[in-house]
Structure 1
Amino acid sequence: MFDVLRVARQLERAVSEEPARFHAMEADAWVTGLPGPGDVQVGTGREPLWRNLGYWRDVERVDESNCERVGALFGAAQARLAHLLATTAGLTRTDHVLDCGFRYGDQDILWAEAYGCERIVGLEVTPHHVRVGRERMRMLGLDGRVRLELGSATRMPLGTGAFDVVFALESAIHFDTREDFLREAFRVLRPGGRLVAADLCQTRDRETGLGLRRRLRHRYWRGRYAFPEANVWTTERYRSELRRVGFEQARLTSIASDVFPAVNTALAALQGLRAAAHPLEPRALDRVRAEVQRARRMEFEQLQWLTRFNCDEYLVVSALRP
C-alpha cells in the first residue's frame, strides 16, 4: 500500500532548509532591485532593507498606474507593520525589547528612533544579517542602545525575566519550533511583559482531506522556505499554545485583508522592475504594468502563501506574561 505520509516526510527531509542557510543563500530584501543577500550594501545605514509583507491599510496600493513607485509604497507598508507591532505592545521609552529574527534591523532602527526604547537586543541565526545590522547601527549612532547578536530564538542565550517586550515580526513561522520560541519568550519576559508577533497560520484545519499531490506540494514548499511542519497551526491552535505556555490575555487579530491582496501586486512590480532594462524604457515599463495588472486579477486561492504553504491567515498576536 502506498504510504502518503511516509513519502511526504521523505520529501520534506530532502528539501528542508535550515533557517540560517535559507536566509543567507535564498532570501533577499523586498525592496527596489530585489538585492540578494550577497548584493546588500550599506551606504548611509538608512537604505531600506525590509523583508516583510507590509500592512497596507491607509497605504496607497501598487497598481499599473504607480508601479514604478513600488519601492516607496512597499517600504511605507513595511514600516507601518513595524509601527503596528509597536503600538500593539504599547512600546515606551523605558522598555527593554527583544527582537527575534531582526533580518537587517530596519524595525529596530524604527523602534529605537520613533519610540526611544531604552534598550533593544536582537537575535538572528544568520551571520550576514548580524554583520549588516551592526554596521547600520554603528553608522546611525544606535549601537549604544541596539545590540544585535547571533543566536537562536528557540534557545536564547539570555537571562530569565530580562525584557519588557518580545517581538517576532514575520519570523516565528521559521523558528524550529514556534512552540519552543513561545516557551523561551515566556522565560525571558518580566512579569507583566508583552509578547507581540506578526505571523502566518490557517483560519481552520486546511490539511485534513487533501489529496496526495497537494500534500506533497505544500510539504515541498514549506521545506524549501524553512517553514517546519510543526509550525502549521490554526488560529485556535495558536491560542491554545499561548495558554499552555502560561501567557494570558491572548489576542489574535486578523489583518489578512490588509496584507495578502496588496503585497501580491507589489511583489509582481518588484520582480518586473528587476527584470526590466535600465534605465527603464517605456516598453519595459509597459511589460511591468501588464504583470501588475495580471497579479491584481489573481484570486486569493492563487497566491503563493496559500498554494505553496497552505496558509490563509495573517495575525497580529499579543499576549501577557502574568
Structure 2
Amino acid sequence: MSNKSIESMFYQKENEKIRCLLCPHKCILTEGEFGRCKLRKVEESTGELKLHSPYQSRVAAICLDPIEKKPLYHFHPGSQVLSVGMIGCNLACPFCQNWEISHSRDQDKGRKITPQDLTNILKEYSESEPDNILGLAFTYSEPTSWYEYVFEASKLSSEEGFKNVIVSNGFINKTPLKNLMPYIHGANIDVKGFRESTYKHVGGQLQPVMDTVELLLESKHVELTYLVIPEVNDHKDELNDFINWVSELNPDIPVHFSRYFPQYKYERNATPVSTLRWIYEKAKEKLTYVYLGNVGEQESQTTWCPKCKKPIIERVGFGVITNLVERNQCKFCNHKIAGEF
C-alpha cells in the first residue's frame, strides 16, 4: 500500500469527469475535487484522471477494546479487538458522537500504520493472550469511507485466522460490500432513524442502509444500534416502524438503543431515560434481544434466555461478569442463543 495516495477500487470515467461508485452518493467529480466524504479526490496519474484516496496512510485512533464496546453483545463475548479508525465519513450527522475523528480533515492526524502492521500487532497480542484476542474492529469514524485500507487489513488478518468486525453507518453500495464480506465476520450497523426525512437530515438515504443490513444478514453476524435523539428520530411511529422492520427480518437480531448526549453541533438535552425505558419495553414485545446503551442499567445490558428467562450473560459497563452460554446454548435449558459464542 502506498505511503501517499491510494487509487480507489470503485469508480468509473464519464467523459472528462469521474464518478465514485463506493457509496450511494455516487459523486461526480472533476480534477482536484473531493467527494462528499472529503477523502476521495480526482487526480491526474500517468496522463489520465483517476480517483484516489490521499489520506489512507494514517491511523487516527487505535486501541485494544472489549468487543462489547462496539457494541457487539452476541459475538464472542468477553473477547478483545484491536480497534482502528481513520478520519472521514460519508454522512454529515450534526450530532456526531465521534466528530473529532470522523469530521477531521487533518491528513497528518494520527500515525502511519500499515494493514500488515495491524496483523503483526494482533499476533503479538495473541502470543500473550491467545484465548482473548479476536481480531480487528474498524470503527470510530466511517470505515467504508477508507475502504481500501479496510479491505487489505481485513484480508491479511483473516488469512492469519483472526475475525474482523465493522462498525458502520451501512451507507455503501452493494458491489463494494459484497467484495469486502469474505473478510468481515461481524457488523454493528448504526441506523440513524427510520424515515427518509431523518436520513436527509444527516445527508444520506434510508433504503441503502436497509439493503446493507439485509445483505449482511445472509451470511454474517449483525447487530444494530439506534441512537435515540430527541425531536429527531424518537417519534413513536418511526420507532415502531423500525422495530417492526427488524422483527420481520429476524426477531433474534440484537438491537442496541443508545442514549444521546450533546455533541458536535447539537446542544439539546440528553435523551430522557424514561424514553429509553419505554423503547426497551416496547421493543421487547417483538424483538428477542434488546439492550440500552449509555444508560448504565444492568438489567438492560443483560442477555436473558428467551425460554427460561434467566440471566445468561451479565455485563457491567463493557465488561462481562457472567457468561452462561455454552456452544450457543443456554446453560440452564439448552435453548439456542443467537450469535457466535
TM range (shorter): 0.3 to 0.5
Q: TM-score with structure 2 length normalisation?
A: 0.32
Kindly indicate which of the two structures has a greater share of residues assigned to strand: 2
Kindly indicate which of the two structures has a greater share of residues assigned to helix: 1
- The answer to which structure, 1 or 2, has the higher relative contact order (CA under 8 A, 6+ apart) is 1
